[in-house]
């Protein structure tokens, strides 16, 4: 095999591993029933830094208590927040929240129907890479890398055929 194929194969292998890992980071949590959310404000710092990627577990029938962390949506899902429960109104079946970095309770009432769940774990700063601006760029990079890996594989196979080697399929 020619020397210039070795770096190409190595780069293809590393690229494939990175693509596989990023795919696993999205698919496996979905298979486990976890919701993925991105922390967009500093309200929960230092617990969840801005730009963290949160993996949120559905709550089910668990009894929530003051001090529990919850992730919920507002404006019919347009915005997702993660906060700590500051107060629970049992009569109205609503709760009030506060961020760890805030000194006052938020005025919005949160209903159980708005809850996505409780944060299970987070990856700091990873969420800042996944925004509505970067997703199309990431898709294009994936396409280019896929074409690169395919072309490299094809060229290696072509080289082996020219050398008279048998190719296992």
The per-residue pLDDT string of the chain (169 residues; one tens digit each, 9 = 90 and over) reads: 455 556 667 777 888 888 888 788 778 888 899 998 999 999 999 999 999 999 999 987 678 999 999 999 998 878 999 999 999 998 888 999 999 999 999 999 999 899 999 999 999 988 888 777 787 888 888 888 888 888 888 887 888 788 877 666 5
Return d(Cα 145, Cα 157) in angstroms, integer.
18
* Contact (Cβ atoms closer than 8 angstroms) between residue 104 and residue 98: yes
Query: Helices 5-31 and 134-162, interaxial angle, to 10°?
Result: 130
Whole-structure pTM over 0.75, yes or no? no
The CB-side HSE value for 82 (13 A sphere, CA atoms) comes to: 30
Strand 34-38 to strand 115-123: parallel, antiparallel, or no bridges (unpaired)? unpaired
Which residues have a Cβ under 8 Å from the Cβ of 158 and sit 6 or more positions away? none
């Amino acid at each position: 095999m020619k020397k210039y194929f070795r770096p190409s194969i190595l780069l293809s292998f590393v690229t494939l591993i990175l693509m596989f890992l990023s795919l696993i980071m999205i698919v496996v949590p979905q298979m486990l029933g976890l919701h993925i959310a991105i922390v967009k404000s500093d309200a929960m710092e230092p617990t969840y830094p801005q730009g963290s990627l949160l993996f949120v577990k559905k709550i089910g029938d668990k009894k929530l208590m003051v001090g529990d962390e919850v992730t919920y949506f507002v404006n019919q899902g347009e915005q997702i927040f993660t906060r700590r429960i500051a107060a629970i109104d049992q009569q109205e079946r609503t709760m009030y929240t506060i961020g760890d970095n805030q000194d006052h309770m938020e005025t919005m009432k949160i209903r159980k129907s708005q809850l996505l769940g409780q944060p299970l774990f987070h990856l700091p700063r990873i969420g800042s890479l996944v925004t509505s601006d970067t997703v199309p760029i990431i898709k294009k990079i994936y396409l280019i890398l896929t074409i690169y890996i395919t072309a490299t594989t094809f060229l290696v196979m072509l080289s082996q055929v020219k050398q008279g080697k048998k190719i296992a399929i």
